[in-house]
Amino acid sequence: MAGETTPSMRIAVIILHYGRPALAGRLYAQITGADPQYAEHVFVLDNCAPEPYPGAWRRTEHNLYWAGALDYALCEMAQQDYSHVWFLNNDLLFDGPPPYLRRAMGRLARMEGTLGPVGIYAPAVTGNPYHPQMVAAPGMQYRTVEYVDGIAPLVSVACWQALGGVDYTGNPYGYGVDVWFSLCAHRAGWRVVVDHGVPVRHRYHSTAREISGFMHTAAQAEAAYLAARLGPDYRTVLAQSARHWHDADSL
Cα–Cα distance for residue pair 112/63, rounded to 1 Å: 35
Q: Which residues of 37-48 are buried (b: 16+ CB within 10 A; e: fewer)?
A: ebeebbbbbbbe
**Given a cut of 90, is residue 157 above it in pLDDT?**
yes
pLDDT digits (tens, 9 = 90+) for 204-229: 655 555 555 677 889 999 999 999 99
CATH class of the 11-245 domain in this structure: alpha beta
Taking alpha carbons only, the member of 71, 70, 42 closest to residue 56 is: 42
pLDDT at 203: 81
Taking alpha carbons only, the member of 132, 178, 173 closest to residue 151 is: 178
Q: Give residue limits of the domains in the chain.
A: 11-245
**Better pLDDT: 2 or 146:** 146
The one-letter amino acid at 235: R
Cα–Cα distance for residue pair 186/146, rounded to 1 Å: 6
pLDDT digits (tens, 9 = 90+) for 98-131: 999 999 999 999 999 999 999 999 999 998 888 9
pLDDT at 227: 98
List the single range of 73-82, 185-194, 205-214 with lowest mean pLDDT. 205-214
pLDDT, mean of residues 25-52: 98
Cα distances (angstroms) measured from residue 31 to each of 25, 88, 148, 198, 212: 10, 11, 22, 12, 31
Cα–Cα distance for residue pair 56/65, rounded to 1 Å: 17
**Given a cut of 50, is residue 6 above it in pLDDT?**
no
Contact status, residue 82 vs residue 65, Cβ threshold 8 Å? no
pLDDT at 3: 37
**Given a cut of 50, is residue 86 above it in pLDDT?**
yes
pLDDT at 129: 83
